[in-house]
Amino acid sequence: MKSITELLRDADPLANESRTYSEQRDYRRKIILAAASRTRDRAVAEPTSRITLLVTLGFVVVVVLFLAERMWSPLVSNVYAAPVRFEVKLAEEKPAAGLLEAKVSGTDRSVYLHPEAIVTNSNISRAYIIQVDHSSKYSVGVEFNPSGTEKIGAATARHIGKPVAVLLDGQVVMAPIIRAQIGESAVITGDFSRTEAEKIVKGITTTR
Amino acid sequence: MDELNVARVFPPAEIGNPVERLAILFDGHYDRLYRLARRLTASADDALDLVQETFLKAARYPKAIPSGFTKEEAWLVRVLINIRRDQWRKTSTRSRFEATASGTGLLEPANGDVEGALIARFSVWRALDGLSPRRRAIVVMRELEGIAIPAIASLLGISQITVRWHLSMGRRDLSTALKAYLEE
């Protein structure tokens, strides 16, 4: 009886074939090295064509972006507006301990902010642009959710006759004097351009 | 200094010209690859083609070949087995169909010494053809080349347990196919 190993050894073609393959070996060597030379030639030529391709692609991208910016800027600004941090803080006309001085954008006026925000982006249920008297100036309207309405209502009710600051990305864009308790909606009057107003609307709802 | 030692003294990673590197790879590994290829294929021509395909792949992807003689060898062996596996997958279905259609199973052992030996050899290689190339390579490396299991695992980049499992399954399949000769 033979084992598997013995059967395999008996049938091993290397043990049974006397054929010499040195000639074939040299022939195959030439084929392989010729193929390697062709590959190398292509590899040497490739960087130039790759650079050309990249430059062309870069040029096309620049042209497309340029055209897109000119033709579809309102659309682009609407869709890809960056997030805008929205905060409403109680403020004072005079400095006091614990308050932070801040300039109102576009004016020389300073207000002094309470550290805590009453409402933020998470308290807004909807935002929209408002055209001011058919002019090229726009405001932004915001509607608060129930939690935001309750917070801003309670805070402004105790702060009547004093300013409240509206901040966009940390900048005070307006600080009106509270005449009455603020309810479920408010208007940010910043004399914005349409593009700016649209960016704010998108931005303050994106980060909710 | 023979060709093998040249390859060892000048690791291919240090040779900038890919053609030169391939020449050294060829000279250093051709014989070893041919031996394995011959034991994985039905004829010497098939083995020569298989080795050629392996080196052509090395020519196409020179940066994929690791540095160091042992790592190069392992890379080439794996490429060779993978190419053989692709060939085997394409032909195995057809072969099984032809074997069934013709109604021929394994040949029975013959009484005459020369004739019997030839038939036995044919039967062994037919049984080996039934193994997947990786399993067949493992059986060949262990049984014919005498390579230890840890070295096979390292060469093929698989665990020793996997090697043992393939070896066990390969021996079982061969035992089943060659039952008549084992009980001779």
Co-location of A10 and A53 in the same domain: yes
* Residue type present at position B104: T
B124 → closest Cβ in A7, A29, A36: A7
Confidence of residue B121 (pLDDT cuts 50, 70, 90): confident
pLDDT in tens, A40-61: 666 655 555 667 777 888 888 8
Interchain contact B15–A (C-beta under 8 A): no
- What domain range includes position A14? 1-80
Q: Which of B36, B83, B121 to mutate to test the interface with A (most CBs of A within 10 A)?
A: B121
Model confidence band, residue A68 (pLDDT cutoffs 50, 70, 90): low
Residue B93 pLDDT > 70, yes or no? no
**Sheet with A164-168, edge to edge strand ranges:** A100-103, A110-120, A86-92, A164-168, A171-174
A21 lies within 8 A of chain B by CB: yes
One-letter amino acid at B24 equals: I
Identify all chain A residues contacting B60, using CB atoms and an 8 Å cutoff. Answer: 35, 39
A137 in Cβ contact with A191 (< 8 Å): yes
Shortest Cα–Cα distance, B134 to chain A (Å): 17
Name the residue facing B143 among A5, A17, A28 (closest C-beta).
A5
Q: Where in chain B is the domain with CATH 1.10.1740?
A: 1-106
Average pLDDT, chain B: 80
Q: B144–A31: do the CB atoms touch at under 8 Å?
A: no
pLDDT interval class at B114 (50, 70, 90)? low
Which residues sit opposite A87 in a β-bridge? A120, A167
Cβ–Cβ contacts within 10 Å for residue B98, how many?
11
More confident residue, A82 or A183: A183
* CATH code, domain carrying A148: 3.30.1360.200
The model's confidence at residue B2, banded by pLDDT at 50, 70 and 90, is very low
Predicted TM-score (pTM) of the model is 0.52
CA Rg value for chain B: 19
Residue B164 burial (CB count, 10 A): 15
Mutation target among A6, A10, A19, A21 for the B interface, most CBs of B within 10 A: A21
Does residue B183 sit at the A interface (CB-CB below 8 Å)?
A: yes
Cα nearest neighbour of B42 on chain A: A13
Closest chain B residue by Cα to residue A6: B143
Q: Chain centroid to CA B27: how far?
A: 19
**pLDDT value at A175 more than 50:** yes
Say if residue A200 is in the same domain as residue A97: yes
Six-digit token pair at B26?
Answer: 């060829």
Is B38 in the A-facing interface, judged by CB distances under 8 Å?
A: yes
B179: how many CB neighbours lie within 10 A of its CB? 11
Q: Which residues of A touch B139 (CB under 8 A)?
A: 8
CB contact A134 to B (< 8 Å): no
Phi then psi for A99, rounded to 5 degrees?
A: -100, 150
Domain co-membership, A24 together with A8: yes
Subunit contact A2:B182, Cβ cutoff 8 A: yes
Is the Cβ of A3 closer than 8 Å to some Cβ of chain B?
Answer: yes
Q: Are A96 and A180 part of one and the same domain?
A: yes
CATH architecture of B1-106: Orthogonal Bundle (1.10)
Q: Looking at this predicted complex, what is its ipTM? A: 0.77
CATH number for B108-184 (one of 1.10.10.10, 2.120.10.30, 2.40.37.10, 3.30.530.50): it is 1.10.10.10
Residues A39, A67, single domain; the answer is yes
Rg over alpha carbons for chain A, rounded to the nearest Å, is 36
Residue A44, chain B, CB below 8 Å: the answer is no
Contacts of B117 in chain A (CB under 8 A): 10
